[in-house]
Chains A and B, each alone.
Chain A
């Protein structure tokens, strides 16, 4: 059974003053198996962030349904949804979303504390993750004291510590320089190798080239998808570029 399944998702925004409704997603269906590393690509305004928000239960679809591990997200009650998100999903954001009031350690602990875990358990889980992400030495620093790459690695640690079924990453390398980006992508690759399922949204070809599968989204529908097969990252990169060129120059896959 698929770990994540999206069935004909539609999302229509109606403005407050009764203007024209805007369709962000018209009909999106796809599924992901456990252990996959999938990237959703698309330009600004293509609806990819809307899709991620729906998958993350931060937003509800106008039509269609999302199943995570067989559970229908739209059937989870409003008051349980925060706990659900905390227990099953891990998030990595473009702007890190670390709290300046907490040290990196406490930022990483935040979802665990919210889940009511005790200190020993959190600490035990943190040690291997911090080692893997190479942030052991900066755990007691504050977000404003460390570099962007270090912040993002702390954010990844925060996503991993709850041992989620799925990690959702929204343009995680968007605010990083190229070296930090390489390092982060390497980390994603490694944690995926360890069995972690990852779904990333990005418009960076380089970030996408590390994935096993790339979905292209345009004007609210999934337009095309690529599988890595046995390609290297460089070959994958080339394939993605070609697809993007085709998409932007107006190629029409449906016909």
Chain B
């Protein structure tokens, strides 16, 4: 044999199969580029200079892991598709006298060529985008970026290694497929598996059950704390439900349509119902994959972008004052002396304090049932329903409230003012807290700001009592139950300043030192410091969300493309027959269109429904991050869905053109 026979054969094979090889090559390039960028960003020395670098590197590291797992699965999937299409070709070579050994050598050369091409392409794209994305990331997390071109040979090496392993694995898998099949099987593998699918009612039923309970969890969960635990359960239920419904449910549904004779035996339903039945068997899993990937993209990008764009508001909630100090309360005189000492310290450090707020309060967690707030031991709280009822009480005396808010409210014994935060119910006219019964004199819309209470994920209630004796009484009550873990009556002092960020950042450690010298168990917070951290966290998450979203989108697009092509080849025969039997070109076209549209937009529609169902739950999850701006999240979700739909439509138009070309190429 000619010396370069196998190399030449490999090259010409790749060229001949370009319709499927090019997208595969493209996929491996992009996954390689994405992996390179992820890894290089997480190891970029320039990151170390940024505030919140640790958080960011952790997020990016997590992203690396996701991309890695994804690359392996996805490249395997597309490779399997390629092999399926090419089995006939291999069967022919085999019959023409090539041994399986020779096929394996040819395949090895093809794999080597593809590997080299995708590594070159992937690394070039990766390196080119790396810098741009680093600048973007720096911009997102609001940090100055100061670095030159960063190319790490270590990162390049690990990308090369990872993909070498993946390519070797896919190669072994392909060779195994050729080895086990005989030439006749290879030749006819195209026309295998055309049997009509069976109805599996039980699976379809479980699908509905699983999807329904997933939705139920997502929509009905009231409390953000429990939504965190239930979120993953709901996601898993919805994923299982989607797979079952796409595979078993669709068949059951279509067969039901078919049983209705008067519906079924009509031109527009006859071919499409039977065609769909046939398609669903082959494509149900692919469609379910697309649907789940799409949902992930939508939820991820809409939530992370709302976090990113809502970060200012979140910080306002979390850090109502530029600086705040919380420490165990002492006598009122001692408290105000402490406050004035802080004020003068700030003054000395170039931080003029204005709009300061000072009050003492008691805050503890209680179980909220109807109109009663009870404290219970954590051991009794482990059921899901009680997690749902957890709420945070913040209690402060009337004098402090009036002083803070500049109001002139009055209360007699047993009367209170009530304020409720997100998701609260303040309709009651009488409430019970521990052993005390109170009459709600008024519900108030404004409460003294407190970032720590606001950052608690549970529903918060603020109760203003007539005097501080009540506070002490409730303190004793909850202490009796919680023991060492009981909260103490605290003193809050917060103030705003007009000083610039740098001065503020410089003052933060000074204040911290001063306070801890004064009282060791104190909490000192500065908005400027928290802001940088938040930008790093949310910016990183948004970046990751957008990045992975793009990757998943690409995956979805590729699955669609491959599906269209493989269906095109199979449908060609069917439509040629229909034409002979008396179906006109127009009827064929409209039949194709309706089926393709259904197959195509079913995942998009389902993804939309999934996203809508996830909305209430994600909304509550976002409230864990102090994002309570529902309008922003709604807008982000809608925009994401729209953009996604437009991209999807574009892909549809592009691939359906290829599809029509294949189908209309008459096999005479």
Contact = CB atoms under 8 A, between A and B. Distances in A.
Interface in A91-131: 91, 93, 97-102, 106, 109-116, 118-119, 122
B267 A113 contact: yes
A144 B261 contact: no
B578 A83 contact: no
B577 A119 contact: no
Contact of A83 (B278, B577, B580, B582): B582
A98 B579 CA distance: 12
Contacts of B267: 113-114, 116
A109 B273 CA distance: 15
Contacts of A101: 196, 274-275, 277-278, 574
Contacts, number: 69
A133 B257 CA distance: 29
Interface residues of A, number: 30
Interface stretch (B138-146, B430-438, B584-592): B584-592
Contact of B195 (A58, A85, A144): A144
Contact of A97 (B266, B270, B581): B581
B582 A99 contact: no
A203 interface: no
B46 to A, nearest CB: 59
B338 interface: no
B265 interface: yes
A97 B580 contact: yes
B370 interface: no
Given A113-B267, A144-B194, A91 B274 contact: no
Nearest to B275: A101
Contact of B584 (A82, A106, A144): A82
A16 interface: no
Contact of B581 (A83, A116, A122, A158): A158
A247 to B, nearest CB: 27
B581 A91 contact: yes
A122 B261 CA distance: 11
Contacts of A106: 270, 274
Contacts of B584: 79, 81-83
B348 interface: no
A237 interface: no
A97 B577 contact: yes
A42 to B, nearest CB: 19
Interface string B177-202: 00000000000000000111000000
Interface in B269-289: 270, 274-275, 277-278
B194 to A, nearest CB: 5
B270 A113 contact: yes
Contact of A102 (B261, B274, B580, B583): B274
A86 interface: yes
A111 B270 CA distance: 11
A110 B194 contact: no
Contacts of A102: 274
A194 to B, nearest CB: 22
A223 interface: no
Interface centre among A93, A97, A142 (most CB of B within 10 A): A97
B262 interface: yes
Nearest to B269: A113
B288 to A, nearest CB: 21
Nearest to B584: A82
Interface centre among A97, A99, A115 (most CB of B within 10 A): A99
A86 B580 CA distance: 9
A82 B270 CA distance: 17
B344 to A, nearest CB: 86
B582 A85 contact: yes
B194 A118 contact: no
Interface size class of chain B, counting residues whose CB lies under 8 Å from the partner chain: 20 to 34
A242 B34 CA distance: 76
Contact of A109 (B265, B275, B587): B265
B582 A113 contact: no
B580 A110 contact: no
Given A102-B274, A113-B266, A86 B581 contact: yes
Contacts of A111: 581-582
Contacts of B262: 118-119
Interface string A121-149: 01000000000000000000010100000
A75 B581 CA distance: 21
A110 B587 CA distance: 13
Contacts of B196: 101, 142
Interface string B45-72: 0000000000000000000000000000
A115 B587 CA distance: 12
Contacts of B277: 101
Nearest to A84: B582
A113 B574 CA distance: 16
B584 to A, nearest CB: 3
A119 B587 CA distance: 20
A58 B668 CA distance: 11
Interface in B249-272: 261-262, 265-267, 270
Contacts of B581: 86, 91, 97, 110-111, 114, 158
A99 B587 contact: no
Contacts of A83: 582, 584
Interface string B82-93: 000000000000
A110 B574 contact: no
Contact of B265 (A58, A86, A113): A113
B580 A91 contact: yes
Interface centre among A102, A109, A116, A122 (most CB of B within 10 A): A102
Contacts of A58: 580
Contacts of A113: 265-267, 270
Contacts of B265: 109, 112-113, 118-119, 122
Nearest to A145: B195
Contact of A82 (B195, B574, B582): B582
B582 A114 contact: yes
Nearest to B279: A101
A170 to B, nearest CB: 10
A93 B277 CA distance: 26
B580 A114 contact: no
A114 B275 CA distance: 15
A114 B586 CA distance: 12
Interface string A46-73: 0000000000001000000000000000
A175 to B, nearest CB: 15
Nearest to B579: A82
B582 A79 contact: no
A13 to B, nearest CB: 11
Contacts of A110: 270, 578, 581
A79 B274 contact: no
A101 to B, nearest CB: 4
A99 B574 contact: yes
A145 to B, nearest CB: 9
A27 to B, nearest CB: 24
Nearest to A121: B265
Contacts of A100: 194, 278
A114 B274 contact: no
Contacts of B266: 113, 116
Contacts of A98: 577
Interface centre among A86, A98, A110 (most CB of B within 10 A): A110
User: 6 smallest A-B Cβ distances: which pairs?
Assistant: A86-B582, A82-B584, A101-B278, A97-B577, A113-B270, A101-B274
Given A111-B582, A114-B582, 18 more contacts: A58-B580, A82-B584, A83-B584, A91-B580, A97-B577, A97-B580, A99-B274, A99-B574, A101-B196, A101-B278, A112-B265, A113-B270, A114-B267, A114-B587, A118-B262, A119-B261, A142-B196, A144-B194
6 contacts: A86-B582, A91-B581, A101-B574, A106-B274, A110-B581, A142-B196
